[in-house]
Amino acid sequence: MSHDPTDPKSASTTHFGFQQVPVAEKQKRVAEVFSSVARRYDVMNDLMSMGVHRLWKRFVIDLAGVRPGERVLDVAGGTGDLTREFAKQVGPRGQVVLSDINAAMLGEGRRRLIDEGVVGLPVLQANAEKLPFADRSFDCVTIGFGLRNVTDKDAALRSMLRVLKPGGRLLVLEFSKPLNAGLSKIYDQYSFKLLPLMGRFVANDADSYRYLAESIRMHPDQGTLKGMMEAAGFERCQVYNLTGGIVAVHRGFRLTA
| Contact residues: another protein, CB under 8 A | 59, 62-63, 65, 67, 139, 167, 236, 238-241, 253
Q: How far is Cα 134 from Cα 90, in angstroms, rounded to an integer?
A: 20
101 close to 125: Cβ distance less than 8 angstroms: yes
**3-state class (DSSP) for residue 101:** coil
Identify the three-state secondary structure at position 173: strand
**Distance (Å, whole) CA 119 – CA 105:** 17
- φ and ψ of 187, to 5 deg: -65, -40
Q: Residue 254 Cβ, how far from another protein at the closest point, in Å?
A: 12
Provide the annotated binding site: 79, 100, 127-128
We find the least distance from the C-beta atom of residue 232 to another protein, in angstroms, to be 17
- Of 33 and 248, nearer to another protein (C-beta) is 248
Least distance between another protein and beta carbon 253 (Å): 8
User: Nearer Cβ to another protein, position 211 or 253?
Assistant: 253
Minimal distance, residue 167 CB to another protein, in Å: 6
Tell me whether residue 183 or residue 218 sits nearer to another protein (CB atom).
183
Q: Which residues are annotated as a binding site for S-adenosyl-L-methionine?
A: 79, 100, 127-128
If the CB atoms of residues 142 and 215 are measured against another protein, the closer one turns out to be: 142
Where are the extended beta strands (E) located within the chain? 13-16, 19-22, 71-75, 95-100, 123-125, 138-144, 164-175, 235-242, 247-253
